[in-house]
Amino acid sequence: MNSIPVCDPSAGILSRRDAIEAALRRVLESNRYILGPEVESFEAEFAAWCGLRHTVGVANGMDALVLALRVLDVGPGDTVLTVSMTATATVAAIRAVGATPVLVDVHPDSALMDPQRVAEALARWPARLPRPRVILPVHLYGQPCAMDELAQIAAECNAALVEDCAQAHGAEYEGRRVGGFGRLAAFSFYPTKNLGAVGDGGAVLTNDDALAARLRRLRQYGWSAPQWAEEAGMNSRLDELQAAILRVRLPALEVDNARRRMLAAIYDTRLAALPTASLRRLPPDKRAQPVYHQYVCQTPERETLRTWLSGHGISTGVHYPHPVHLQPGYRDAVQIAVGGLTETERIARETLSLPMYPELPPEAAERVAQAVCDFFARG
């Protein structure tokens, strides 16, 4: 019996091997390896694909968040409102600019930032804390957050909205691709992402011309001209080789995302009969079109189910086993948790990611779903 991996980033690369090798040769022969024509072309193409004016390529997804905060002058003495059910990079970026992360609990079904909990947190905001400069929702698992409500809340409290789109390339909310609901959006091109490089990469997207110009300075030492730093910056540049690979993969992203939705539909159909007490799936949001970076469910029997599936040659993942606020490296920084994080902690104990990548054969998804059903039927 062939094993089924939870993800397979090489499959998307090898399926386009000839085009990628041609793109790499083009870069190797160009004598331009940093911030050259490949980066410029990818920036224009990705911005257009997302429906925005500017893409600024950077070294990785965390740097994208750091630069999005820096360009808004967020720093020591400021607070940023976000969630703990996320990749560590979200909170690490807030701390990297010297700001204080303030965490709200997530919705119990979707694991996404919950506008109601955000509103409740703002209503009883501790007097010792400055009001949030930024609200930072995370489109986790490729599922868009409730952006209408969050944008309204951000406007009412005079906070900038910055989207963490690291797992949501192409996801839509009310017919618009994520990334354009706030002042800025941060993307990651880590190899397992829906649009993945062969190594690290990231981007900040915005419709604001002035912010885009400053981002281009900040990503390269603060230079406004070669060797002239207008302000203090950093070194965070998407390189030409990764940009060339991303340019090959971008035209196929819509098809790849459609494949993910097709596989998710198989899981949805086959797992729908299971009682929610046994297995909870992410609820559908009629306003959103997810891109299923992960296919996630929740079960109190997670570890037993993982062992069962492993015994049937099926790998699974946990995204994420440890909420950021419980990790020693960030515990002191993020103890300002308004209203408690009980749902975040429960979801972290119960969440399970089933195999999901565009090249996964439908019959493999059927096999995974059957194994899950067999587990709960075993008596």
The CATH number assigned to the domain holding 276 equals 3.90.1150.10
pLDDT in tens, 56-81: 999 999 999 999 999 999 999 999 99
pLDDT (mean) for 359-369:
98
pLDDT (mean) for 272-301:
95
Q: Is the pLDDT at 335 greater than 60, yes or no? A: no
Which helix or strand (DSSP H or E) is residue 119 part of?
helix 115-123
- Alpha-carbon separation of residue 342 from 107, 183, 369 (angstroms): 10, 30, 29
The verdict on residue 2 lying in a domain is no
What percent of the chain clears pLDDT 90, i.e. is strictly above it? 93
Q: How confident is the model at residue 197 (pLDDT cuts 50, 70, 90)?
A: very high
- Among 233, 251, 269, the domain boundary falls at 251
Q: Is the pLDDT at 256 greater than 80, yes or no? A: yes
Task: State which residues form the domain around 276.
Answer: 253-376
Q: Label residue 255 left, alpha or beta by phi (over 0 means left) and psi (-120 to 50 means alpha).
A: alpha
Q: Is the pLDDT at 258 greater than 70, yes or no? A: yes
C-alpha R_g of the chain: 21
The verdict on residue 1 lying in a domain is no
What per-residue confidence (pLDDT) applies to 285? 85
Strands of the sheet containing 160-164, edge to edge, are 54-58, 202-206, 184-188, 160-164, 134-135, 79-83, 100-104
What per-residue confidence (pLDDT) applies to 337? 56
The verdict on residue 32 lying in a domain is yes
Same domain for 262 and 240? no
- Among 251, 278, 300, the domain boundary falls at 251
The verdict on residue 359 lying in a domain is yes
Same domain for 164 and 285? no
Same domain for 88 and 52? yes
Q: How confident is the model at residue 20 (pLDDT cuts 50, 70, 90)?
A: very high
Same domain for 225 and 356? no
pLDDT in tens, 129-185: 999 999 999 999 999 999 999 999 999 999 999 999 999 999 999 999 999 999 999
Quick check: pTM over 0.95?
Answer: yes
